[in-house]
Amino acid sequence: MDWEDAFPMATRTKAPVTADLAVRYGGLEPEALIRAFRVMHTSRRLDDREILLKRQNRIFFQISGAGHEAISAAAGTALRAGRDWFYPYYRDRAMCLALGVTPAEMLLTAVGAGADVASGGRQMPSHWGAPRLNIVSQSSPTGTQFLQAIGCAEATRHLDPSSDAVTLVTSGDGATSEGEFWEALNAACLDRLPVVFVIENNGFAISVPLEKQTAGGNIAKLVSGFPGLAIEEVDGCDFVASYQAVRQAAEYVRSGQGPALVHATCIRPYSHSLSDEEKLYKTDEERAAEAARDPIVKFPEWLVQEGVLDRYALQVLVHDIDLEIQAATEAALNAAPPPAGSALLHLYSDRVDPCSDAFATPPQFAGDPRTMVDEINLTLAEEMRRNPQIVIFGEDVADCSREDHLRKLKGKGGVFKATHGLQKKFGSERVFNTPLAEAAIAGRAIGMATRGMKPVAEIQFFDYIWPAMMQIRDELASMRWRSNGGFACPAVLRVAIGGYLSGGAVYHSQCGEVEFTHIPGLRVVFPSNALDACGLLRTALRADDPVLFLEHKRLYREPYNRSAHPGPDFLIPFGRASVVKGGRSLTIVTFGALVQKSLLAAIDIEKRDSSVSIEILDLRTLAPYDWEAIRRSVEKTSRVLIAHEDCLSWGYGAEIAARIASELFDRLDAPVGRVGALDTWVGYHPQLEAEILPQVDTIVREAEKVLRY
């Protein structure tokens, strides 16, 4: 039932609305004020009902929006469901109700029902999400939503330049201590993006008070120096004032002048969650002061005083809300849980299968052999022509950010030239530099991909990917699963990785791919040659899943791994290994830079012993990996060695070795061999680097050990 027709009796006023009253009501009609009260009171009643259910052990977690109802409902009232875009945080129950999420849907989330529209029972309560309303699936990490909102706003500008849609992102004051908040503000102001930030300041970040969280105690003052940022400060317990503040902020943003921030001071009359006890750190006096500002008490008193509602109509409206919540509670408690066998549903796309034969297309070779980096560049250009939603961004990826200098300069196009010339070909709207902020690069890509774009974001060196880890692990890879298929995030992250380049040392030579193959929902690709780089990158760009595309720096320009261009439709399916060399005595499972080293090791061993022949499998993709190819080869050779560049202990090869031991033990004639780097950092001096990273003779020694067994 729509709020407008929820209870006609409650819309009676004692006097007609005059121009003076319209100003006093913030431009809202009485019906809108009554609707706001219904939203706010429903929000509090839902919190109270969930608290009761949690204490009865009928739900499993509870976190409330109590005290935030006025600013939250105001934000939902001032903006447009299904047209604007929303990145709420867990206290925004009232906003989601105002946008159109129903009490019944919220209680289905609380019980973890399979019919829960936000996540299908996969997320905690108050982790909002509603595709039909443009409420993007919320996660638990604080502050990650800011950067995704930036990407969402950029997508609005790209997909429909004439649109006046804004992106709203909210948080508590505590989350403004996260670096992602500041990175988001910087990006929003640099590009004058249509983003409204609403900071709901209730004075505490769990138990940490404002004065220990925010310098000076006022985030609005701290951000006042950002150029083009409109700032509104408001009593977040006053619905009408909050509505006016959010509306003014939205109007500023819609006018194209830049982003806006609303700093709303509110209260938190309940503990942080039912896992917290606020009496341990809040005095009775503090709690009494909060109660005196409670919008659920103050707003209906004001409505009666203004003659918008009489007390009888108010009582009837409250009773109607209670009946609705009771009915919704009974239905939710009887709702079925997520069905058995559904745990892996929506982990990956059900629309596009990049492992299928649809992605196995033959090459149509033309031209001279090209390096791997040249093939990456050409493949990106071909796919950008094919798909106008592809954008490329990161640090130094553009030819020149100062467009008026483009004609005078050759252009940079990446520190390894992988994107050279693409800005000149496709324009600065599609190929552009970003601030030096890896989390921002990944977060913006997530926001864009959620909107249907195909962002190709570059992390300049794998060694510097770690600031983006929260965005990659907890956001990018989980988006489809945690929203139960409601949202997808098929971004591509290109990352230069690996050593064997003299002088790279600790921070320009590391591997660490195993940290990412352990993440559900993320595809991880690691080509070893130009041909595979072309086919696998094209598959990544046409797939519907997030992909981490690892490009080994040493392999960018090697003479031995070059290939003629295989054509604009050449694709390689994920999860299919390549048999680089056939053999019957030993299988070497490897990838990346160790493919060539394994080949040289095999040639050396076979030259000295003609009775030995070694098979080499290049995995090409690490998640998924081609178990069937490994199984077939090991069953044939009965001996296996796994070689990778990363540290040996807890490395990628450990999982394959364990699976071989578990499933193929009876086919083995020797223990599984492993080769990897020493368990330390990569050193600067070439001799030290050579000692640390696996070399051809390292593989030879381990292979001969397995062969001798």
Dump pLDDT digits (tens) for 176-195. 999 999 999 999 999 999 99
Statement: residue 14 has pLDDT above 70 = no
Statement: residue 23 has pLDDT above 80 = no
Q: Which burial class, exposed, middle or buried, applies to 88 when counting CB atoms under 10 A from its CB (0-12, 13-18, 19+)?
A: buried
Q: Does the CA dihedral 446-448-452-455 come out positive or negative?
A: negative
Q: What is the pLDDT of residue 34?
A: 97
Q: Give the span between the Cα atoms of 317 and 328, in whole angstroms.
A: 17
- Which position among 68, 127, 508, 644 bears the catalytic label? 508
pLDDT digits over 478-487, tens only?
Answer: 999 999 999 9
Q: How confident is the model at residue 22 (pLDDT cuts 50, 70, 90)?
A: low
Q: Is 319 a catalytic residue?
A: no
The CATH number given to 357-565 is 3.40.50.970
Q: How confident is the model at residue 19 (pLDDT cuts 50, 70, 90)?
A: low
Q: Give the span between the Cα atoms of 351 and 354, in whole angstroms.
A: 10
Concatenated DSSP letters for 226-261? STT-EEEEEETT-HHHHHHHHHHHHHHHHTTS--EE
Q: Is the CATH number 3.40.50.970 carried by domain 65-295?
A: yes
pLDDT digits over 58-76, tens only?
Answer: 999 999 999 999 999 999 9
Q: What is the pLDDT of residue 11?
A: 38
Residue 557: CB atoms within 10 Å: 15
Q: What is the pLDDT of residue 9?
A: 36
Residue 305: CB atoms within 10 Å: 9
Q: Give the span between the Cα atoms of 626 and 336, in whole angstroms.
A: 37
Q: How confident is the model at residue 155 (pLDDT cuts 50, 70, 90)?
A: very high
Q: Give the span between the Cα atoms of 89 and 119, in whole angstroms.
A: 15
Q: What is the pLDDT of residue 25?
A: 86
Q: What is the pLDDT of residue 328?
A: 98
| Same fold: 65-295 with 357-565 | yes
Q: What is the pLDDT of residue 3?
A: 34
pLDDT digits over 370-419, tens only?
Answer: 999 999 999 999 999 999 999 999 999 999 999 999 999 999 999 999 99
Q: What is the pLDDT of residue 37?
A: 97
3-state secondary structure 174-218: HHHHCHHHHHHHHHHHHCCCCEEEEEEECCEECCEEHHHCCHHHC
Give the residue carrying structure tokens 């794998």: 462
- Answer for the pair 67, 124: CB distance below 8 angstroms, yes or no: no
Dihedral pair phi/psi, residue 366, rounded to 5°: -155, 145
Q: Which burial class, exposed, middle or buried, applies to 432 when counting CB atoms under 10 A from its CB (0-12, 13-18, 19+)?
A: middle
Percent of the residues in the chain that have a pLDDT greater than 90, as a whole number: 95
- Answer for the pair 597, 559: CB distance below 8 angstroms, yes or no: no
Dihedral pair phi/psi, residue 118, rounded to 5°: -75, -40
Rounded to the nearest integer, the mean pLDDT of the chain is: 95
Q: Which burial class, exposed, middle or buried, applies to 366 when counting CB atoms under 10 A from its CB (0-12, 13-18, 19+)?
A: exposed
CB-based burial, 508-537: b 16+ in 10 Å, e otherwise: bbbbbbbbbbebebbbbbbbbbbbbbbbbb
What one-character DSSP code corresponds to residue 570? Answer: -
Average of pLDDT values for 130-144?
96
The first and second tokens of residue 682, run together, are 């990569």
Report the run of H or E that residue 545 belongs to, with start and end: none
Q: Name the β-bridge partners of 235.
A: 265
- Answer for the pair 459, 433: CB distance below 8 angstroms, yes or no: no
Average of pLDDT values for 266-277?
93
Query: CA end-to-end span of the chain, whole Å?
Result: 75
- Answer for the pair 74, 94: CB distance below 8 angstroms, yes or no: no
Q: What is the pLDDT of residue 26?
A: 82
Statement: residue 624 has pLDDT above 70 = yes
Q: Which burial class, exposed, middle or buried, applies to 414 when counting CB atoms under 10 A from its CB (0-12, 13-18, 19+)?
A: buried
Q: Parallel, antiparallel, or unpaired for β 431-433 and 390-394?
A: parallel
Average of pLDDT values for 272-280?
92
Dihedral pair phi/psi, residue 581, rounded to 5°: -150, 130
Give the residue carrying structure tokens 């058995």: 340
Statement: residue 357 has pLDDT above 60 = yes
Q: What is the pLDDT of residue 20?
A: 64
pTM of the model: 0.95
Pick the CATH number of 578-708 from 3.40.50.920, 3.40.50.150, 3.40.1190.20, 3.30.360.10: 3.40.50.920
The angle subtended at Cα 53 by Cα 48 and Cα 54, nearest 5°, is: 95
CB-based burial, 651-687: b 16+ in 10 Å, e otherwise: bbbbbbbeebeeebeeebebebbbbbbeeeebbeeee
Q: What is the pLDDT of residue 8?
A: 37
Q: Give the span between the Cα atoms of 513 and 680, in whole angstroms.
A: 16
Domain range list for the chain:
65-295, 357-565, 578-708
- Answer for the pair 517, 623: CB distance below 8 angstroms, yes or no: yes
List CB contacts of 73: < 8 A, sequence separation 6 or more: 36, 39, 40, 43, 94, 95, 97, 98, 239
Percent of the residues in the chain that have a pLDDT greater than 70, as a whole number: 97
Q: How far is CA 706 from CA 64, 627, 647, in A?
A: 60, 21, 20
